[in-house]
Amino acid sequence: MRRGDTPSGSLHGVSDGSAYICVDELPDGLVAADHEGRILVVNRAAERLTGVGRQTAVGRHITDVLPFRDLEGRDWWKWLDPRGGLRTRSRAPERPLSLPGRQELLVAARFVRTPERGGPVARVVITIRDASARARVERSRADLVSTVAHELRSPLTSVKGFTATLLAKWERFTDAQKLVMLETVNADADRVTRLITELLDVSRIESGRLQVRRQVVDIPARARRIIAGRVAAGEPEDRFRLEVDGELPETWLDQDKIDQILANLVENGVRHGRGTVSVVVEPVEWGVAVSVRDQGEGVAPELVGRVFRQFWRGNGRRRGGTGLGLFIVKGLVEAHGGTISVQRAPGGGAEFRFILPTGAPDFA
């Protein structure tokens, strides 16, 4: 049996030698037509995206059933021209198309030739995707660019201003004044570095290129280190509490990323919460759970679904940061195979709880 055939000779599935896969299982819409444009197959996703049932479509010409038009209103099938062009053509790139009264769709095509090399087109296989996902990505990128421009402007202006002033009037300032200006420049440079790090993390998370370098990590020890750093920076020691409940199993994690997760969650508790920020570490059935709790007003139930999105900055609370921290935390936790959620803490306030799996990695 050739790849692409089914036991009945139809196009409703493919066989990979070990399993029969129905086209209705595909996540994207699929429409197959012969070289003249008569529709042979419409899968379930294509029905949903186009609003056209397969019983209505099969056997009819594609321009009668699915009159795709490009952004300039041209007939897409005529533009595609399966019977024209070079015999080496194998595909048409994805492009936005529309149907009358329907949302914009992303449509691509592949030419199936017989024989495969240089033969005439026997079938045209069309894939269809919802364009709203691309629109969301483009809006997200535009928001990211806007956020970066806004967040970079202030520290860079400060760095440029103080540096230019010191270079031009160095002899006029006392040592104490110079120290204040240099400390400000240093702090703003750190702010720019943190922002660039966040942006790189967002890029890696969205592209799936985030790498986890595993080693044995003592989570309570890392939490103590994060808390000690906050205290050394001037926070009162009694603002934080660390609890370890029970004997913890061995965990193989990326130490730098665990530090980043804990630091972001503690920072979130300090910035948006009130009272004591508690870090609770405990064993659970398949891993280790870490809860970071504050004593503020918490997260309103209707906002829980937005907390881990990019640019979320809280429920009318004190502003600050880029709104990327919790998005990055979720990406880092999931890169370890874990999960994270937000709920109301036992004593009020917000509780961010993440669970990480145990066990040594497979080095084979």
Mention every residue, 6+ apart, whose C-beta is less than 8 A from residue 283.
245, 246, 247, 248, 249, 289
CA 73/CA 96 separation, integer angstroms = 11
pLDDT digits (tens, 9 = 90+) for 73-126: 889 998 888 888 888 888 889 889 999 988 889 999 999 999 888 899 999 999
Residues of the chain with pLDDT under 70: 1-21, 133-148, 150-151, 311-322, 360-364
Q: How many helices (H) and strands (E) does the chain have?
A: 9, 14
pTM: 0.58
- Angle value at C-alpha 311, between 308 and 317, nearest 5 degrees: 85
Give me 106's structure tokens. Answer: 């992303």
**Where is 37: in which H helix or E strand?**
none
Model pLDDT for residues 19-45, shown as the tens digit of each residue: 556 888 888 999 999 989 999 999 999
